[in-house]
Structure 1
Amino acid sequence: MILVVGGAGYIGSHLVKELAEQNEVVVLDNLSTGHEYLIDQRVHFVQGDLGDRETLNQLFSNYPIKAVMHFAANSLVGESVQNPFKYYENNVSNTLTLLNVMLKHGVKKFIFSSTAATYGIPETDTITEETVTNPINPYGHSKLMVEQILEDLHQAYGLNYVVLRYFNAAGAHVSGEIGENHDPETHLIPIVLEQLLGKRESISVFGTDYDTHDGTCIRDYIHVTDLANAHILSLNALLEEKLQKATYNLGNGKGYSVKEIIDTCERVTGIEANVILSDRRPGDPAILVASSEKIYRELGWKTKYTLEDIIESAWKWHKSSMTIV
């Protein structure tokens, strides 16, 4: 059985939907940002907190857990700057509690959903796993701290782990049953689609004079199901003893500009967006793209879904989610 912490959230719920095809799964989620309706009906669900030692001990006692997958972090960069204590408490301290209970119960396989925010603002456009980590906000710091903790626990206690770093998860499950539902919403694709659905008056583009082919920022977008499959490949590698530890970037390798995202949304939906051109935001690099050559070389993972696939699946979800109460 696999424990998925944060399995009611956006990425976690998509992972669970894929994972449950061939595994027994138990989900732990406090529903602070997740949604119970996103949880696959085939799995066991326990509502509880990542830092609740008693709940964790009961979980590991009641279920034959052989590995843990962690998606339960707080992840809003702006909020982390305004309220760093929340991020260090949940993302670091509560994760330490989880790891401590895991090891006490003899569970030594761990998949960690990390972030490219650990790199900060790199000097190169394409980020590899060898790029220097230099986070610029508490969110990135908190994730990097956990990565460092995992290495120490590997050396001291034999904890085997995979860290997966990525930028922008996007899209929805092809079934249309689950998708992205954040409050507040900070991601570009759902913001554009919400405007096209009439939920927003306009879309702001921050900067049109960057050194890119169309003047707008380029970022890495990856379909959430591609992300889920990378996590499952990594899990299987741990379970089959093919890996003891690894860190992988997950990306599409080329990136898409803000204008390309908006244009593709308009093309897929047939609706024209109301775009407002604004000044640059401080600290926004022109290009941030992740190289996934390492995980392709070592585990055979590569992206399956195109930008059009991402937006078509997201549009299907956003239209159907308007009826969800």
Structure 2
Amino acid sequence: MTRIIQSLAEISAPYDALLCDLWGCLHNGVTPFPAAVAALRAFREGGGKVVLLTNAPRPAKYVIAQLDRMGVPKDAYDLVVSSGDAAQDAMFAGAVGQKVWHLGPDKDEGFFTEVPPEWQGQVSVSRVPFEEAEGIVCTGPFDEINEVPEDYRPRFLLAKTRGLKMLCANPDVVVDLGDRRIYCAGALAALYEDMGGEALYFGKPHPPVYDLARRKLAAIGVGEDARLLAIGDGINTDVAGAEGEGIDVLFVTGGLAAEQFGPEIDAPEPDLLRTWLAARQHDPQYAIGRLR
């Protein structure tokens, strides 16, 4: 049974490293949550390592730049590992061909221009118009504020007819940008699959991003036998992914599903939480209203 806690410090002592989600846990897309920052800092001060494990469809370098602009202090984390990192590796390995159509906003330019050292000089992936593409790389809608997945149905029908695979660089379906909910690449990939197309995923809950996080942790001295705790507000991404990897989970109820657990975000109602989790067949070890 999921245990509701009041602070990370109550249960963090046995763990060597945290895999902490960003949107809904550490920030709301606009500003960081001070209590969450303090909790991560305290964990690191006690000797633990913090990996910010995000489904952002951009390489870690660009995620860090965004965190800097937002005011997230660098002493709150050790590493950033993104869905963009794992998906980018697959793209350069030729998962959807060498000529790709990019479906996504301009802010994801770095997915193509920031070539990882291991791929430099080895492969040429070029962005081309839809009509010339061998595959699709989806990092989100072109206009994430105003567009919805259904806007892409006609183009997806053509893509499916041509047998184009879609590389989904962000399996998240929605995120909250301040007080506004917006669609992510995962929503577009889900529609494409519903229409009979094929989508490939590399972020949470899928194994590649966890494999990458473990390799990055090993590089800073956190071995294979380390105890990990995943923190996240996405039941189908953060929770499902960690459970699939055998990693303990702290479910943040005050994020995407906040309205399901009663009127007090910081005090999820146990019966509502239990029923909601049972209906989705998930059983995280811990739950908390907001990370603190």
Flag whether TM exceeds 0.5 (same fold): no
TM-score if structure 2 supplies the norm length?
A: 0.34
Tell me which of the two structures has the higher relative contact order, counting C-alpha pairs closer than 8 angstroms and 6 or more residues apart: 2
TM-score if structure 1 supplies the norm length?
A: 0.31
